[in-house]
Amino acid sequence: MNRRTLLTGASVAALSGCKVLDDARGGTLGAVMASANSLTYRVHRALGGGHTLAPEYTQADIRQGMHPNGSTNPQTADYLALQGNAWADYRLEVGGMVGQTLSLSLADLRAMQAQTQITRHDCVEGWSCIAKWTGVRLGHVLAMAAPQAGARFAVFHCFDAIERGLAGEVLYHESIDMVDATHPQTILAWGVNDEDLPVRNGAPLRVRVERQLGYKMAKYIRRIDLVADFTGLGRERGGYWPDKGYDWFAGI
Amino acid sequence: MAASGSLIYRQSGWTRMTHWVWAVSLFFLLLSGLQIFNAFPKLVWGKEAGFEYDNAFLEIGAQDVDGARQGYLDLFGTRYDTTGWLGLQGDTVQAFPAAVTIPSTRNLAFGRIVHFFFAWILVGTLAIWAVASVVNGHLRRDLVPNGADLRKLPGDIADHARLRFHHTRQYNVLQKLAYGGVLFVAFPLIILTGLCMSPSFNAMAPWLLDVFGGRQSARTIHFLTMAALVAFFVVHMLMILAAGPLNELRSIITGWYRIDPEPTPAKEDAQ
Protein backbone atom coordinates (compact mmCIF):
# COMPACT_ATOMS: atom_id res chain seq x y z
CA MET A 1 0.00 0.00 0.00
CA ASN A 2 1.57 3.30 -1.02
CA ARG A 3 0.61 6.81 -0.06
CA ARG A 4 -1.67 7.24 -3.04
CA THR A 5 -3.82 4.19 -2.25
CA LEU A 6 -3.85 5.20 1.39
CA LEU A 7 -5.11 8.66 0.53
CA THR A 8 -7.64 7.34 -1.97
CA GLY A 9 -8.87 4.79 0.54
CA ALA A 10 -9.22 7.45 3.22
CA SER A 11 -11.15 9.82 0.98
CA VAL A 12 -13.47 7.06 -0.24
CA ALA A 13 -14.14 6.10 3.36
CA ALA A 14 -14.88 9.73 4.18
CA LEU A 15 -17.18 10.27 1.20
CA SER A 16 -19.14 7.09 1.74
CA GLY A 17 -19.12 7.62 5.48
CA CYS A 18 -22.41 9.42 5.36
CA LYS A 19 -24.20 6.33 4.10
CA VAL A 20 -22.59 3.73 6.34
CA LEU A 21 -25.44 3.73 8.81
CA ASP A 22 -28.31 4.64 6.51
CA ASP A 23 -29.72 1.12 6.58
CA ALA A 24 -28.96 0.51 10.25
CA ARG A 25 -31.85 2.49 11.69
CA GLY A 26 -34.53 -0.19 11.54
CA GLY A 27 -32.20 -3.13 12.17
CA THR A 28 -30.36 -4.77 15.01
CA LEU A 29 -27.47 -2.30 14.85
CA GLY A 30 -29.87 0.61 15.17
CA ALA A 31 -31.57 -1.09 18.11
CA VAL A 32 -28.23 -1.67 19.83
CA MET A 33 -27.27 1.98 19.40
CA ALA A 34 -30.71 3.17 20.54
CA SER A 35 -30.36 1.07 23.69
CA ALA A 36 -27.67 3.51 24.83
CA ASN A 37 -30.61 5.75 25.76
CA SER A 38 -31.70 3.38 28.52
CA LEU A 39 -28.13 3.42 29.86
CA THR A 40 -28.22 7.22 29.77
CA TYR A 41 -31.59 7.20 31.55
CA ARG A 42 -30.39 4.87 34.29
CA VAL A 43 -27.15 6.76 34.86
CA HIS A 44 -28.95 10.11 35.00
CA ARG A 45 -31.47 8.73 37.48
CA ALA A 46 -28.69 7.13 39.55
CA LEU A 47 -26.54 10.28 39.64
CA GLY A 48 -29.24 12.93 39.45
CA GLY A 49 -31.59 11.19 41.82
CA GLY A 50 -35.15 12.26 41.95
CA HIS A 51 -35.08 15.86 42.83
CA THR A 52 -32.03 17.71 41.53
CA LEU A 53 -33.35 21.06 40.34
CA ALA A 54 -33.02 22.54 36.88
CA PRO A 55 -31.26 25.93 36.93
CA GLU A 56 -33.63 28.85 37.41
CA TYR A 57 -33.03 32.25 35.90
CA THR A 58 -33.94 35.84 36.71
CA GLN A 59 -36.40 38.29 35.21
CA ALA A 60 -33.45 39.98 33.47
CA ASP A 61 -32.78 36.76 31.57
CA ILE A 62 -36.18 36.96 29.84
CA ARG A 63 -35.24 38.84 26.70
CA GLN A 64 -37.95 37.63 24.33
CA GLY A 65 -41.30 35.88 24.11
CA MET A 66 -41.47 32.11 24.42
CA HIS A 67 -40.44 30.76 21.02
CA PRO A 68 -43.23 28.48 19.72
CA ASN A 69 -42.45 25.22 17.94
CA GLY A 70 -44.19 22.03 16.81
CA SER A 71 -47.97 22.46 16.90
CA THR A 72 -48.75 26.14 17.24
CA ASN A 73 -52.39 26.28 16.19
CA PRO A 74 -54.38 23.05 16.64
CA GLN A 75 -57.32 22.62 14.28
CA THR A 76 -59.01 19.55 15.74
CA ALA A 77 -62.78 20.05 16.12
CA ASP A 78 -62.97 19.57 19.88
CA TYR A 79 -60.05 21.93 20.46
CA LEU A 80 -61.62 24.66 18.32
CA ALA A 81 -64.91 24.27 20.23
CA LEU A 82 -63.18 24.75 23.59
CA GLN A 83 -61.13 27.65 22.28
CA GLY A 84 -64.28 29.30 20.93
CA ASN A 85 -65.76 29.27 24.42
CA ALA A 86 -62.60 30.67 26.09
CA TRP A 87 -61.91 27.29 27.76
CA ALA A 88 -65.05 27.55 29.91
CA ASP A 89 -65.91 23.92 29.06
CA TYR A 90 -62.34 22.67 29.35
CA ARG A 91 -61.79 19.79 31.75
CA LEU A 92 -58.49 18.12 32.51
CA GLU A 93 -59.21 14.43 32.95
CA VAL A 94 -56.90 12.41 35.19
CA GLY A 95 -57.30 8.64 35.11
CA GLY A 96 -55.71 5.29 34.47
CA MET A 97 -54.10 3.65 37.50
CA VAL A 98 -55.54 6.01 40.08
CA GLY A 99 -57.74 5.55 43.07
CA GLN A 100 -59.80 8.61 42.19
CA THR A 101 -60.36 9.91 38.67
CA LEU A 102 -60.38 13.68 38.36
CA SER A 103 -62.09 16.14 36.08
CA LEU A 104 -60.73 19.62 36.68
CA SER A 105 -61.73 22.91 35.10
CA LEU A 106 -59.18 25.61 34.46
CA ALA A 107 -60.68 27.51 37.40
CA ASP A 108 -60.17 24.45 39.63
CA LEU A 109 -56.51 24.28 38.61
CA ARG A 110 -55.98 28.01 39.09
CA ALA A 111 -57.50 27.79 42.56
CA MET A 112 -54.75 25.39 43.63
CA GLN A 113 -51.44 26.63 44.98
CA ALA A 114 -49.60 28.21 42.07
CA GLN A 115 -45.91 28.00 41.41
CA THR A 116 -43.82 30.29 39.20
CA GLN A 117 -40.41 29.49 37.81
CA ILE A 118 -38.09 31.09 35.25
CA THR A 119 -36.49 28.27 33.36
CA ARG A 120 -34.76 27.46 30.12
CA HIS A 121 -36.58 25.50 27.44
CA ASP A 122 -34.22 23.35 25.36
CA CYS A 123 -35.45 22.13 22.01
CA VAL A 124 -34.16 18.87 20.56
CA GLU A 125 -33.14 20.95 17.53
CA GLY A 126 -30.52 22.69 19.63
CA TRP A 127 -31.92 26.10 20.58
CA SER A 128 -32.90 27.34 24.04
CA CYS A 129 -35.35 29.97 25.24
CA ILE A 130 -35.85 31.34 28.75
CA ALA A 131 -39.37 32.08 30.01
CA LYS A 132 -41.38 32.40 33.20
CA TRP A 133 -43.92 29.64 33.75
CA THR A 134 -46.84 29.60 36.17
CA GLY A 135 -48.95 26.61 37.10
CA VAL A 136 -49.71 23.94 39.63
CA ARG A 137 -47.37 21.12 40.55
CA LEU A 138 -48.26 17.97 38.66
CA GLY A 139 -47.32 16.02 41.79
CA HIS A 140 -50.04 17.86 43.69
CA VAL A 141 -52.69 17.01 41.11
CA LEU A 142 -51.57 13.40 40.94
CA ALA A 143 -51.65 13.10 44.72
CA MET A 144 -55.34 14.11 44.61
CA ALA A 145 -55.89 11.22 42.22
CA ALA A 146 -54.21 8.72 44.58
CA PRO A 147 -51.86 6.84 42.20
CA GLN A 148 -51.94 3.05 42.44
CA ALA A 149 -48.75 1.28 43.47
CA GLY A 150 -48.05 -0.15 40.00
CA ALA A 151 -48.21 3.18 38.16
CA ARG A 152 -44.87 3.90 36.48
CA PHE A 153 -45.59 6.60 33.91
CA ALA A 154 -47.78 9.64 33.45
CA VAL A 155 -49.08 9.79 29.88
CA PHE A 156 -50.27 13.12 28.47
CA HIS A 157 -52.94 12.93 25.80
CA CYS A 158 -53.28 16.11 23.78
CA PHE A 159 -55.73 17.93 21.52
CA ASP A 160 -53.27 18.65 18.73
CA ALA A 161 -52.67 16.48 15.69
CA ILE A 162 -49.30 17.09 14.07
CA GLU A 163 -50.18 14.83 11.20
CA ARG A 164 -53.17 13.25 9.56
CA GLY A 165 -52.54 9.59 8.78
CA LEU A 166 -54.61 7.05 6.88
CA ALA A 167 -56.32 6.08 10.13
CA GLY A 168 -57.21 9.70 10.87
CA GLU A 169 -55.58 12.33 13.03
CA VAL A 170 -52.46 11.26 14.93
CA LEU A 171 -52.87 13.03 18.25
CA TYR A 172 -49.84 14.17 20.22
CA HIS A 173 -49.00 12.23 23.33
CA GLU A 174 -45.98 12.03 25.60
CA SER A 175 -45.01 10.32 28.81
CA ILE A 176 -42.67 10.79 31.76
CA ASP A 177 -41.74 8.54 34.66
CA MET A 178 -43.15 9.06 38.16
CA VAL A 179 -39.85 10.60 39.28
CA ASP A 180 -40.29 13.47 36.83
CA ALA A 181 -44.06 13.53 37.34
CA THR A 182 -43.58 14.27 41.04
CA HIS A 183 -40.50 16.48 40.59
CA PRO A 184 -40.88 19.83 42.38
CA GLN A 185 -40.42 21.79 39.13
CA THR A 186 -42.81 19.70 37.04
CA ILE A 187 -45.90 21.87 36.70
CA LEU A 188 -49.08 22.01 34.67
CA ALA A 189 -48.65 25.54 33.36
CA TRP A 190 -51.46 27.88 32.39
CA GLY A 191 -49.33 31.00 32.27
CA VAL A 192 -46.16 32.14 30.57
CA ASN A 193 -44.32 35.43 31.10
CA ASP A 194 -47.11 36.78 33.35
CA GLU A 195 -49.85 36.16 30.78
CA ASP A 196 -52.35 33.42 30.11
CA LEU A 197 -50.78 30.67 28.06
CA PRO A 198 -51.39 31.62 24.41
CA VAL A 199 -52.45 29.03 21.84
CA ARG A 200 -49.02 28.94 20.22
CA ASN A 201 -47.46 27.85 23.53
CA GLY A 202 -50.06 25.22 24.43
CA ALA A 203 -53.27 26.81 25.77
CA PRO A 204 -55.02 26.12 27.96
CA LEU A 205 -52.62 23.76 29.75
CA ARG A 206 -49.17 22.33 29.09
CA VAL A 207 -46.62 20.51 31.19
CA ARG A 208 -43.16 21.73 32.11
CA VAL A 209 -40.59 18.95 32.62
CA GLU A 210 -37.57 21.09 33.29
CA ARG A 211 -34.91 18.37 33.17
CA GLN A 212 -35.88 17.16 29.71
CA LEU A 213 -36.11 18.51 26.16
CA GLY A 214 -39.07 20.40 24.77
CA TYR A 215 -40.79 17.52 23.03
CA LYS A 216 -41.49 15.89 26.40
CA MET A 217 -43.43 18.97 27.53
CA ALA A 218 -46.78 18.19 25.96
CA LYS A 219 -48.99 21.15 25.05
CA TYR A 220 -52.82 21.29 24.74
CA ILE A 221 -53.26 18.60 27.39
CA ARG A 222 -56.62 16.85 27.38
CA ARG A 223 -56.06 13.93 29.71
CA ILE A 224 -53.40 12.45 31.96
CA ASP A 225 -53.32 8.70 32.47
CA LEU A 226 -51.13 6.83 34.92
CA VAL A 227 -49.98 3.56 33.38
CA ALA A 228 -47.66 0.64 34.07
CA ASP A 229 -46.50 0.41 30.43
CA PHE A 230 -47.28 1.77 26.96
CA THR A 231 -49.46 -1.11 25.73
CA GLY A 232 -51.94 0.05 23.10
CA LEU A 233 -50.42 3.52 22.94
CA GLY A 234 -49.36 4.32 19.34
CA ARG A 235 -46.24 2.33 18.52
CA GLU A 236 -45.82 1.74 22.26
CA ARG A 237 -42.68 3.83 22.63
CA GLY A 238 -44.30 6.31 24.97
CA GLY A 239 -44.78 9.37 22.80
CA TYR A 240 -45.42 10.90 19.41
CA TRP A 241 -41.73 11.68 18.76
CA PRO A 242 -40.44 8.48 20.39
CA ASP A 243 -42.77 6.66 17.97
CA LYS A 244 -40.91 8.51 15.22
CA GLY A 245 -37.53 7.26 16.44
CA TYR A 246 -36.59 9.90 19.00
CA ASP A 247 -35.29 8.75 22.38
CA TRP A 248 -37.96 8.35 25.03
CA PHE A 249 -35.66 9.76 27.73
CA ALA A 250 -34.90 13.27 26.53
CA GLY A 251 -32.74 14.40 29.44
CA ILE A 252 -29.92 14.82 26.94
CA MET B 1 16.46 6.21 4.03
CA ALA B 2 19.72 5.62 5.82
CA ALA B 3 20.63 2.29 7.39
CA SER B 4 17.68 0.94 9.38
CA GLY B 5 17.74 1.00 13.13
CA SER B 6 16.24 -1.67 15.32
CA LEU B 7 12.59 -2.47 15.84
CA ILE B 8 11.34 -1.60 19.29
CA TYR B 9 8.03 -2.31 21.01
CA ARG B 10 6.73 1.25 21.32
CA GLN B 11 2.93 1.16 21.76
CA SER B 12 1.19 -0.97 24.36
CA GLY B 13 -1.95 -2.88 23.55
CA TRP B 14 -3.97 -0.42 25.65
CA THR B 15 -2.70 2.52 23.62
CA ARG B 16 -3.35 0.81 20.29
CA MET B 17 -6.79 -0.51 21.19
CA THR B 18 -8.04 2.80 22.56
CA HIS B 19 -6.48 4.73 19.66
CA TRP B 20 -8.50 2.80 17.10
CA VAL B 21 -11.72 2.83 19.10
CA TRP B 22 -11.37 6.62 19.34
CA ALA B 23 -10.66 6.89 15.62
CA VAL B 24 -13.87 5.02 14.79
CA SER B 25 -15.90 6.80 17.49
CA LEU B 26 -14.74 10.28 16.48
CA PHE B 27 -15.59 9.56 12.85
CA PHE B 28 -19.18 8.71 13.78
CA LEU B 29 -19.42 11.47 16.39
CA LEU B 30 -18.29 14.07 13.87
CA LEU B 31 -20.70 13.07 11.12
CA SER B 32 -23.68 12.49 13.42
CA GLY B 33 -22.80 15.78 15.12
CA LEU B 34 -23.05 17.63 11.82
CA GLN B 35 -26.46 16.00 11.34
CA ILE B 36 -27.51 17.38 14.74
CA PHE B 37 -26.06 20.82 13.93
CA ASN B 38 -28.17 20.92 10.76
CA ALA B 39 -31.35 21.00 12.88
CA PHE B 40 -30.30 24.43 14.19
CA PRO B 41 -27.54 25.66 11.87
CA LYS B 42 -26.34 28.55 13.99
CA LEU B 43 -23.76 29.14 16.68
CA VAL B 44 -24.84 31.57 19.36
CA TRP B 45 -23.30 32.82 22.57
CA GLY B 46 -25.12 32.95 25.90
CA LYS B 47 -27.80 31.13 27.84
CA GLU B 48 -30.41 31.09 25.09
CA ALA B 49 -30.79 31.60 21.35
CA GLY B 50 -32.13 34.93 20.19
CA PHE B 51 -35.30 34.83 18.11
CA GLU B 52 -36.41 38.39 18.74
CA TYR B 53 -32.81 39.60 18.87
CA ASP B 54 -29.65 38.31 17.23
CA ASN B 55 -26.87 36.67 19.22
CA ALA B 56 -25.62 34.34 16.47
CA PHE B 57 -22.11 34.80 15.14
CA LEU B 58 -22.23 31.93 12.70
CA GLU B 59 -25.16 30.89 10.58
CA ILE B 60 -25.49 28.60 7.58
CA GLY B 61 -28.57 28.91 5.42
CA ALA B 62 -30.12 29.55 2.03
CA GLN B 63 -31.53 32.77 0.63
CA ASP B 64 -32.99 34.05 -2.61
CA VAL B 65 -30.77 36.51 -4.45
CA ASP B 66 -32.32 38.03 -7.59
CA GLY B 67 -34.66 35.08 -7.90
CA ALA B 68 -31.87 32.50 -7.57
CA ARG B 69 -31.38 30.25 -4.54
CA GLN B 70 -28.04 30.72 -2.86
CA GLY B 71 -26.35 28.89 0.01
CA TYR B 72 -24.54 31.10 2.48
CA LEU B 73 -22.28 31.10 5.50
CA ASP B 74 -22.72 34.11 7.73
CA LEU B 75 -19.71 34.70 9.94
CA PHE B 76 -19.59 37.72 12.28
CA GLY B 77 -22.05 39.55 10.05
CA THR B 78 -20.25 38.90 6.77
CA ARG B 79 -22.10 36.70 4.32
CA TYR B 80 -20.20 34.35 2.02
CA ASP B 81 -21.72 32.55 -0.97
CA THR B 82 -21.27 28.83 -0.29
CA THR B 83 -23.73 27.43 -2.84
CA GLY B 84 -23.08 23.76 -3.48
CA TRP B 85 -21.18 23.30 -0.22
CA LEU B 86 -22.96 24.87 2.73
CA GLY B 87 -26.62 25.83 2.98
CA LEU B 88 -27.66 24.63 -0.45
CA GLN B 89 -26.58 21.56 -2.40
CA GLY B 90 -28.47 21.19 -5.68
CA ASP B 91 -32.11 21.57 -4.62
CA THR B 92 -31.44 20.53 -1.05
CA VAL B 93 -31.50 23.21 1.60
CA GLN B 94 -29.40 22.05 4.54
CA ALA B 95 -26.34 23.40 6.30
CA PHE B 96 -23.78 20.61 6.03
CA PRO B 97 -24.16 18.43 2.92
CA ALA B 98 -25.37 14.82 3.01
CA ALA B 99 -21.82 13.66 2.19
CA VAL B 100 -20.69 14.58 5.71
CA THR B 101 -23.75 13.71 7.81
CA ILE B 102 -24.86 10.44 9.39
CA PRO B 103 -27.32 9.34 8.29
CA SER B 104 -27.07 10.92 4.83
CA THR B 105 -30.74 11.91 4.91
CA ARG B 106 -32.23 14.51 7.26
CA ASN B 107 -32.81 12.47 10.40
CA LEU B 108 -32.18 14.23 13.69
CA ALA B 109 -33.59 11.30 15.71
CA PHE B 110 -31.14 8.73 14.36
CA GLY B 111 -28.27 11.22 14.27
CA ARG B 112 -28.76 11.70 18.02
CA ILE B 113 -28.91 7.96 18.64
CA VAL B 114 -25.62 7.42 16.77
CA HIS B 115 -24.03 10.41 18.52
CA PHE B 116 -24.91 9.33 22.04
CA PHE B 117 -23.97 5.70 21.41
CA PHE B 118 -20.47 6.67 20.32
CA ALA B 119 -20.26 9.30 23.05
CA TRP B 120 -20.60 6.46 25.57
CA ILE B 121 -17.93 4.45 23.71
CA LEU B 122 -15.58 7.46 23.70
CA VAL B 123 -16.05 8.17 27.39
CA GLY B 124 -15.76 4.49 28.32
CA THR B 125 -12.52 3.97 26.40
CA LEU B 126 -11.12 7.24 27.72
CA ALA B 127 -11.68 5.95 31.25
CA ILE B 128 -10.03 2.62 30.40
CA TRP B 129 -7.12 4.43 28.75
CA ALA B 130 -6.65 6.78 31.70
CA VAL B 131 -6.42 3.92 34.19
CA ALA B 132 -4.15 1.84 31.94
CA SER B 133 -1.89 4.80 31.15
CA VAL B 134 -1.40 5.69 34.79
CA VAL B 135 -0.71 2.06 35.70
CA ASN B 136 1.66 1.24 32.81
CA GLY B 137 3.43 4.60 32.99
CA HIS B 138 2.46 5.75 29.46
CA LEU B 139 1.06 8.97 30.84
CA ARG B 140 4.16 10.01 32.82
CA ARG B 141 6.76 8.47 30.53
CA ASP B 142 5.42 9.42 27.11
CA LEU B 143 2.90 12.23 27.36
CA VAL B 144 3.64 14.74 30.09
CA PRO B 145 6.34 17.09 28.79
CA ASN B 146 9.33 17.50 31.15
CA GLY B 147 11.89 20.27 31.44
CA ALA B 148 14.22 18.70 28.88
CA ASP B 149 11.31 18.50 26.41
CA LEU B 150 10.56 22.17 26.76
CA ARG B 151 14.22 23.11 26.22
CA LYS B 152 14.12 21.07 22.99
CA LEU B 153 10.98 22.86 21.80
CA PRO B 154 12.64 25.49 19.50
CA GLY B 155 14.87 22.85 17.88
CA ASP B 156 11.91 20.50 17.49
CA ILE B 157 9.85 23.20 15.78
CA ALA B 158 12.78 23.89 13.43
CA ASP B 159 13.09 20.17 12.64
CA HIS B 160 9.37 19.83 11.89
CA ALA B 161 9.45 22.93 9.69
CA ARG B 162 12.20 21.29 7.62
CA LEU B 163 10.25 17.99 7.62
CA ARG B 164 13.23 16.39 9.32
CA PHE B 165 11.85 13.68 11.56
CA HIS B 166 13.66 11.69 14.20
CA HIS B 167 12.36 8.22 14.94
CA THR B 168 13.02 7.53 18.57
CA ARG B 169 11.41 5.58 21.36
CA GLN B 170 10.10 8.78 22.89
CA TYR B 171 7.60 11.17 21.39
CA ASN B 172 9.15 14.49 20.49
CA VAL B 173 7.90 17.52 22.38
CA LEU B 174 5.52 18.69 19.64
CA GLN B 175 3.96 15.22 19.62
CA LYS B 176 3.60 15.32 23.39
CA LEU B 177 1.91 18.71 23.20
CA ALA B 178 -0.37 17.67 20.35
CA TYR B 179 -1.43 14.34 21.89
CA GLY B 180 -1.63 15.92 25.33
CA GLY B 181 -3.77 18.71 23.90
CA VAL B 182 -6.21 16.16 22.48
CA LEU B 183 -6.30 13.92 25.55
CA PHE B 184 -6.18 16.49 28.34
CA VAL B 185 -7.83 19.53 26.75
CA ALA B 186 -9.95 18.69 23.70
CA PHE B 187 -11.49 15.43 24.95
CA PRO B 188 -12.47 16.75 28.40
CA LEU B 189 -13.73 19.99 26.86
CA ILE B 190 -15.87 18.32 24.20
CA ILE B 191 -17.27 15.82 26.70
CA LEU B 192 -18.10 18.44 29.33
CA THR B 193 -19.63 20.90 26.87
CA GLY B 194 -21.61 18.00 25.41
CA LEU B 195 -22.88 17.13 28.88
CA CYS B 196 -23.79 20.78 29.46
CA MET B 197 -26.27 20.58 26.61
CA SER B 198 -28.19 18.02 28.67
CA PRO B 199 -30.92 19.65 30.79
CA SER B 200 -30.80 16.66 33.12
CA PHE B 201 -27.03 17.06 33.59
CA ASN B 202 -27.54 20.81 34.12
CA ALA B 203 -29.64 19.95 37.16
CA MET B 204 -26.78 17.83 38.56
CA ALA B 205 -24.00 20.38 37.90
CA PRO B 206 -25.46 23.85 37.26
CA TRP B 207 -22.07 25.39 38.14
CA LEU B 208 -20.48 23.79 35.08
CA LEU B 209 -23.05 25.49 32.89
CA ASP B 210 -21.90 28.81 34.36
CA VAL B 211 -18.25 27.92 33.67
CA PHE B 212 -19.04 27.71 29.95
CA GLY B 213 -21.29 30.78 29.94
CA GLY B 214 -24.63 29.05 29.41
CA ARG B 215 -26.05 26.21 27.35
CA GLN B 216 -25.77 27.90 23.99
CA SER B 217 -22.18 28.93 24.69
CA ALA B 218 -21.42 25.33 25.67
CA ARG B 219 -22.90 24.20 22.35
CA THR B 220 -20.66 26.68 20.54
CA ILE B 221 -17.53 25.56 22.43
CA HIS B 222 -18.49 21.95 21.65
CA PHE B 223 -18.58 22.82 17.95
CA LEU B 224 -15.30 24.76 18.02
CA THR B 225 -13.56 21.93 19.87
CA MET B 226 -14.80 19.62 17.12
CA ALA B 227 -13.18 21.95 14.57
CA ALA B 228 -9.92 21.84 16.54
CA LEU B 229 -10.03 18.02 16.56
CA VAL B 230 -10.60 17.99 12.80
CA ALA B 231 -7.57 20.27 12.42
CA PHE B 232 -5.57 17.91 14.63
CA PHE B 233 -6.66 14.98 12.44
CA VAL B 234 -5.47 16.71 9.26
CA VAL B 235 -2.06 17.53 10.76
CA HIS B 236 -1.87 14.02 12.26
CA MET B 237 -2.37 12.48 8.80
CA LEU B 238 0.16 14.81 7.16
CA MET B 239 2.75 14.05 9.83
CA ILE B 240 2.25 10.30 9.38
CA LEU B 241 2.73 10.63 5.64
CA ALA B 242 5.78 12.82 6.08
CA ALA B 243 7.39 10.73 8.81
CA GLY B 244 6.95 7.40 7.01
CA PRO B 245 3.43 5.96 6.99
CA LEU B 246 4.38 2.28 7.07
CA ASN B 247 6.53 2.56 10.16
CA GLU B 248 3.99 4.82 11.89
CA LEU B 249 1.06 2.57 10.99
CA ARG B 250 2.93 -0.55 12.06
CA SER B 251 3.58 0.95 15.48
CA ILE B 252 -0.07 1.88 16.10
CA ILE B 253 -1.31 -1.49 14.75
CA THR B 254 1.30 -3.96 16.02
CA GLY B 255 3.16 -1.82 18.54
CA TRP B 256 6.52 -2.31 16.77
CA TYR B 257 8.38 0.76 15.56
CA ARG B 258 11.66 1.09 13.76
CA ILE B 259 13.84 3.74 15.34
CA ASP B 260 16.70 5.61 13.70
CA PRO B 261 20.10 3.95 14.04
CA GLU B 262 22.08 5.25 17.01
CA PRO B 263 24.99 7.44 15.94
CA THR B 264 27.96 5.37 17.12
CA PRO B 265 31.35 6.71 18.22
CA ALA B 266 32.91 4.56 15.51
CA LYS B 267 30.99 6.48 12.87
CA GLU B 268 32.13 9.78 14.21
CA ASP B 269 35.71 8.54 14.13
CA ALA B 270 35.29 7.65 10.49
CA GLN B 271 34.29 11.21 9.70
With respect to residue A230, please indicate whether it lies within any of the assigned structural domains. yes
- Closest CB to A48 among B49, B105, B200: B200
Is A197 in contact with A207 (CB distance < 8 Å)?
no
Domain extent for B175: 7-40+101-261
Residue A189 Cα, gap to closest chain B Cα (Å)? 19
With respect to residue A200, please indicate whether it lies within any of the assigned structural domains. yes
Taking only the tens place, the pLDDT of each residue in B80-90 is: 999 999 999 99
Per the structure, the count of domains in chain B is 2
Residue A165's pLDDT band, with cuts at 50, 70 and 90, is: confident
Question: B29 and B62, same structural domain?
Answer: no
The yes-or-no verdict on residue B2 having pLDDT over 50 is: no
The yes-or-no verdict on residue B220 having pLDDT over 90 is: yes
CA–CA separation, B200 and B206 (whole Å) = 10
Taking only the tens place, the pLDDT of each residue in A104-156 is: 999 999 999 999 999 999 999 999 999 999 999 999 999 999 999 999 999 99
With respect to residue B162, please indicate whether it lies within any of the assigned structural domains. yes
Chains A, B: CB contacts under 8 A, how many? 153
With respect to residue A8, please indicate whether it lies within any of the assigned structural domains. no
Per the structure, the count of domains in chain A is 1
Q: What are phi and psi of B183, to 5 degrees?
A: -75, -35
Tell me the CATH number at A74: 3.90.420.10
Interface of B with A in 78-97 (CB under 8 A): none
Say if the Cβ atoms of A252 and B116 lie within 8 Å.
Answer: yes
Say if the Cβ atoms of A120 and B198 lie within 8 Å.
Answer: no
* Residues of chain B positioned with their CB less than 8 A from the CB of A211: 199-200, 202-203
Question: B105 and B211, same structural domain?
Answer: yes
Domain boundary among B59, B78, B95: B95
With respect to residue B269, please indicate whether it lies within any of the assigned structural domains. no
Domain boundary among B95, B116, B140: B95
Domain extent for A184: 56-243
Residue B265's pLDDT band, with cuts at 50, 70 and 90, is: low
Taking only the tens place, the pLDDT of each residue in A11-29 is: 545 555 568 888 888 889 9
CA–CA separation, B179 and B142 (whole Å) = 10
* Residues of chain B positioned with their CB less than 8 A from the CB of A18: 31, 98-104
Taking only the tens place, the pLDDT of each residue in B165-183 is: 999 989 999 999 999 999 9
Question: B167 and B60, same structural domain?
Answer: no
What residue of A is the nearest CA neighbor of B32? A18
CA–CA separation, A12 and A23 (whole Å) = 19
Question: B62 and B109, same structural domain?
Answer: no
Residue B186 CB burial class (10 angstroms; 0-12, 13-18, ≥19) = middle
Taking only the tens place, the pLDDT of each residue in B92-122 is: 999 999 999 999 999 999 999 999 999 999 9
How would you classify the pairing of strands A92-96 and A221-227? parallel
CA–CA separation, B270 and B260 (whole Å) = 19
With respect to residue A3, please indicate whether it lies within any of the assigned structural domains. no
Question: B149 and B61, same structural domain?
Answer: no
Question: B156 and B55, same structural domain?
Answer: no
Q: What are phi and psi of B233, to 5 degrees?
A: -60, -45
Say if the Cβ atoms of A210 and B199 lie within 8 Å.
Answer: yes
Question: B206 and B140, same structural domain?
Answer: yes
